[in-house]
Amino acid sequence: MHTVTIVISFFIVMILSNLIFRLYPLIPAPAIQIVMGFLAGFIIPNFVIQLDSQVFLALIIAPLLFRDAQLIDVTAVLKHRKLVLYLAFVVVFITVLTLGYSIHSFLPFLPLAACFAIGASLGPTDVVAASAVTKRLDFPKRVQTIIKGEGLINDASGLISFKFAILALTTGQFSATQAGIALLTSALGGTLVGFMIALLNRWLNSILERIDAHDSKGYLLAEIFLPFLAFYVAEELHISGIIAAVVAGVMQARRFRKVTLFDAQLDSLTHTVWDMITSSLDAIVFIILGIELRMVLVPVLTSGSYPLLPIIIAIILATLLLFATRFIVLMIYYWYTSKKRKKPLKRYADDAIKITFSGVKGTVSIATILLIPESVAHRPLILFISAFVTFLSFIVGMIILPLLAEAKEETKNHLVEISILDDVINELVESAKDSRKKTNYKRVIENYRKRIEELIIDSESDTIKKDLQELRLLILQIEQDGLEKAYQIGEVSDKPYLFYLRYTREIERMIVRSFVSNMQYYFLILRRLSLLILYRMKHFQQSQKQLVMRSRHMSHEERKQLRSVFFENTQYILDALENLEGVYDTRLLDFLKLQRIRQVQMLHEQDFFARVIEIYSGSNSDELLQGYYLERKFIFKYEKDGRINKREARALRQNVNMLESYTLKEQPTNISTTILEYLNRGNK
């Protein structure tokens, strides 16, 4: 399959999986990506990826671990260093031995060394897979730290175990002493390489800074290059490239931070780019896992050489044994800790269970097992067992962990933020009294009112939000029905008709599809689009100039028609909301009624027209910037008065900074505005 086709297929699968997750957020995104990767292997002809394990570890796993190392709390990891090292080395080695002997006893035709290779690939916890399962759950910080710390360093022990298992499988030789020395050398060597690479990067950047030749983009490119360089140098020296990438990430994050404009620009750019990179690589990891499941499934099923039922039972038992071994070894550690600290063992039981089921496996396990030479007997079966134990472990973690910890609940109390925005509105109202740009101020004030409405809605429960979207869907349907009826009987001419259709698009954007019937929502959108297409076909003979100008300026009579149908629809909407008393929350119905009444008031004052077609209106960036200045002023005042703490104030300032940065960004002129200006010049 052509490389370009593979890349395009990956992007399609990534986009579709993200879309499905947004529509159905209860299904974890990694699960969707695994299934879609699995199905893509059957649907797309010749969709086969020859996964080079070293390339996979270097280009995908190394940068992901590098970024995780940058963000991890090193102080917290050091606090739990004994347990982290215990999990990363002792638990991994015991898992290798336990799984190896168990699989061999159940499938005796597999060589013991091959079974140890399977155990070595499944021993380490995959930090990417573990993070994907636990990031939406309310785990104690200590548990999260332990899991991340373990996942960042245990690949070294797993890879060393695997290499010696393969050595024993191919040559029949094994030395525990050599394995221990190799592990120690690999870990210490990887640490040293990562440390030196990070120092070299700092040295080069300091030179560029001294000669005033550095820039944020170049600095970011150098940082993105660091994990690849650290991994490559370490692997060339036959030491742990994974540990080298992790140490480089830790060192890069702990550099001295100066408060300069350059560092501020770099920090903003770094977070944006790394977020995009890590989210994309995470998706690729799970899609590849799905593809590899399909690729290892077919050879075993089609060969006819293996007894499928014993193999399936062995996979299930190996998965259960994986978690059982982890739990037992963990409890031994906690038993010793409880005796040492003279505390009851049951105090540690909850942490032990959560850490146990967080030890899920991922694509790193498959990348490791793929290192097995082609000449090894039963290679397809070895890949098959490792891949499906990996998949089952992920599914078990995905099912069990939500039962152990509730989903994270974000604080939804926006009362202080609403109060700040309300103070901003009051200041803007006073400024508008003495300004010639009253329309611009009104538009900005309306923008702030909409932000307040969003905060009020966000403070409510999911049930209220779902009801709100259902009611907005009802309002949208009433709007479309009333408009089409008025147009058919001639109460509304072309210009008000087009204008009103544009207004209904604003209602569509406010509806959150995850809370409403998707079929009904998309039916209403298709209906509006079909009405617009039919209108265009009806007036096909008219010039493009007439069609563009038609939706721009309206006469007094046309505005009167628009008001008439809007007032009539308003009456229908208010009656419908009134009839729903007792079915929906009264506060919600009152909120929608007041919102509609304010729109009627705006229409009466003729500000409604400017709001709907504000794309054609003059810039109001000056008034927006004034609003942001006022926001900062009130945030400082609230913090000084003790109404918000420093953390809350920082979060609010970050929001203002993002809005201001977006407002100040130079945007290309809208094409519709350009056409209208050109046509207006042609009329003069």
pLDDT tens, 129-188? 777 777 777 778 888 888 888 887 777 677 777 777 777 777 666 666 776 777 788 878
Q: Above pLDDT 90, what percent of the chain?
A: 7
Grade residue 318 by pLDDT with cuts at 50, 70 and 90. very high
- pLDDT of residue 683 exceeding 50: no
What local confidence, expressed as pLDDT, does residue 330 receive?
A: 93
Grade residue 196 by pLDDT with cuts at 50, 70 and 90. very high
Q: What is the mean pLDDT of residues 624-637?
A: 90
Q: Which tens digits make up the pLDDT trace of 98-119?
A: 999 999 998 988 888 889 888 8
Q: What are phi and psi of 584, to 5 degrees?
A: -115, 165
CA angle 267, 268, 272 (to 5 degrees): 115
542 or 401, which is more confident?
Answer: 401
Grade residue 50 by pLDDT with cuts at 50, 70 and 90. low
- pLDDT of residue 615 exceeding 60: no
Cβ atoms of residues 432 and 438 within 8 Å: yes
Grade residue 233 by pLDDT with cuts at 50, 70 and 90. very high
What local confidence, expressed as pLDDT, does residue 550 receive?
A: 47
Grade residue 333 by pLDDT with cuts at 50, 70 and 90. very high
Grade residue 266 by pLDDT with cuts at 50, 70 and 90. low
What local confidence, expressed as pLDDT, does residue 539 receive?
A: 52
| d(C-alpha 88, C-alpha 127), whole Å | 12
- pLDDT of residue 355 exceeding 50: yes
| d(C-alpha 193, C-alpha 241), whole Å | 9
Closest CA to 500 of 435, 545, 460, 559: 559
- pLDDT of residue 7 exceeding 90: no
- pLDDT of residue 192 exceeding 70: yes
Domain coordinates in residue numbering, the chain = 49-404, 415-683
Q: Which of 180-189, 212-221, 603-612 has the lowest mean pLDDT?
A: 603-612
Q: Which tens digits make up the pLDDT trace of 275-310?
A: 888 888 878 878 887 887 787 787 787 777 788 888
Helix (H) or strand (E) holding 347: helix 346-357
The structure tokens 């290192």 sit at: 371
400 or 214, which is more confident?
Answer: 400
Listed ranges 401-415, 469-483, 491-505, 533-547; the one with the highest mean pLDDT: 469-483
| d(C-alpha 297, C-alpha 540), whole Å | 56
Class of the domain covering 49-404: mainly alpha
What local confidence, expressed as pLDDT, does residue 544 receive?
A: 38
DSSP 374: T
| d(C-alpha 288, C-alpha 34), whole Å | 8
- pLDDT of residue 681 exceeding 60: no
| d(C-alpha 117, C-alpha 134), whole Å | 28
Grade residue 265 by pLDDT with cuts at 50, 70 and 90. low
The structure tokens 């590098």 sit at: 66
589 or 259, which is more confident?
Answer: 589
Q: Which of 338-342, 412-416, 506-510 has the lowest mean pLDDT?
A: 506-510
- pLDDT of residue 328 exceeding 90: yes
* Count of all residues that appear for the chain in the document: 684
- pLDDT of residue 46 exceeding 70: no
Q: Where are the alpha helices (DSSP H) in 489-555?
A: 494-510, 518-538, 544-550
Cβ atoms of residues 121 and 99 within 8 Å: no
| d(C-alpha 60, C-alpha 245), whole Å | 12
Cα distances (Å, whole numbers) of residue 156 to 62, 286, 481: 12, 21, 65
Q: Which tens digits make up the pLDDT trace of 478-531?
A: 888 888 888 888 888 877 777 777 777 666 665 654 444 455 555 555 655 565
What local confidence, expressed as pLDDT, does residue 522 receive?
A: 54
Q: Which of 20-34, 497-511, 610-624 has the lowest mean pLDDT?
A: 610-624
Average pLDDT along the chain: 77
Question: What is the number of alpha carbons within 13 Å of residue 108 lying toward its C-beta?
Answer: 1
